[in-house]
Amino acid sequence: MIEIKNHDFSIGQIANSGQCFRINRLGAGNIWQVAALGKVLKIQQTSEFTHTFHCSSEDYRNIWENYFDLRGDYGEIKKSILKFNDLYLNGAVKYGFGLRILRQDVWEVAVSFIISQRNNIPRIKNTIEKLCAPHGGLFPSPQALVKYTEESLRSIGLGYRAKYLAELAKAADSGKFDIEHLRTLGYEEAIKYVKRFNGIGEKVANCIALYGLHKLGAFPVDTWMRRIIDGQYNGKFDIERFPGYAGVVQQYMFFYQRSLKR
C-alpha cells in the first residue's frame, strides 16, 4: 500500500468529473475502484487530503502516479487562474480543488466519448460496463471490439453510436486509425486527424486530445459548458488567457456547474 498526501488530489472529485467512466465507489465508504490500463486499483480516502493506494510501490511508480498526473503542479495552475479575479472561476477552482486531468488510454477515451454523445453519465457507465463484461471487466482492445457486429453493439444500448464504434474498431484494427501516429501529433493536427472518422466531431475530438493525449490546451465544449459560457460570460470565453492549461480550467468549470445543478 502507498499513502499519499496531496492538497490537489481527490479521488471522489475525479470520479465525478465526467472525464472517466470507470472509477466507481465501493459501497458507502470512501473506497473507490479504478479500472484502467488493463489493471484494477482500489483507492481509499482516509482524510480530506490523504489517500491510500492499494497496490505495490512498483505499480504506483510505473502506472498510477502517471495515470493520475501526480507529478503535475496543479497548485501553480490554480494560482494562474485565480490571479484573474474571475468570480465564477474562483468558485470553481476552490470547489474542485482535487481535480486533475487523467492520462488515460487513447483508445478507451475515443470509444467512451463516442458513447457519451447525447447521453447521460449513468447510461454511459452502464453501457461501458456491458462492453467490458465479456473481457473480464477490462476495456476491449480494437482487435476485440472489431469482432462485434453493429447489431450486437446496438443490443447493449449503443443505438446509432454502434455504427461509429464498429467503423472505428475496423479502422483501428487495420491501422487506418493509428494511435501511435496520433500520439506524435500536435494539438491542431491531432484534432484534424481524429475528426476524419465518423462519430468524432469537435467536442469528442477535444476530449480525445485532453483526456487521452494529455494536451492540456484542449477545451471540450458540451451542453454544460455552453450554458456556462452563455450564462456567465455572455457567450464568449477567452481561453487564450490560459495558455497550455485551458483544459484544466474547463474541468473546474464543468465539475462546478454540474455540482451547483445537483
Residues with catalytic roles: 203
Phi-psi region of 84 (alpha: psi -120 to 50; beta: other; left: phi over 0): alpha
Letter for the amino acid at 231? G
Burial class of residue 143 in the structure, from the number of CB atoms within 10 Å of its CB (0-12 exposed, 13-18 middle, 19+ buried): exposed
* Length reported for the chain: 262
Interacting residues of 227 by C-beta distance below 8 A, sequence separation 6+: 257
**Cα dihedral value 208, 225, 237, 193, nearest 10:** 20
Task: Measure the CA–CA gap between 50 and 17, rounded to whole angstroms.
Answer: 19
